[in-house]
Structure 1
Amino acid sequence: YNFPQGRITDHRIGFTLYNLDAVLNGEIQELIEALQFAENAEKLTRS
């Protein structure tokens, strides 16, 4: 996370959000969906 820029990044999946305040207030659905998408993509490449 980067408070001055209001940014949160998950470098494992290359995903960045620019609504850190919302995430800290519990609005994490977009982040969860990005993580699920990355996990599913990884599973497909292993199959």
Structure 2
Amino acid sequence: MLGFKKFRCARVLLGGIEVMHMIVKRQLNDCSVGQTPAQQFYSLA
């Protein structure tokens, strides 16, 4: 990977990665019981 072209793109991508890690660790207080982590991520978008 050569790097990010713009700071905004890097910020959005890294933010999404952090949210996904929080979902997998069950740190989000969301009422989506029975959903996979991917389904929870897409429901937030």
Which structure dedicates a bigger proportion of its chain to strand?
1
**TM-score w.r.t. structure 1 length?**
0.46
**TM-score w.r.t. structure 2 length?**
0.48
Of structures 1 and 2, the one scoring higher in RCO (CA 8 A, sep 6+) is 2
Which structure dedicates a bigger proportion of its chain to helix?
2
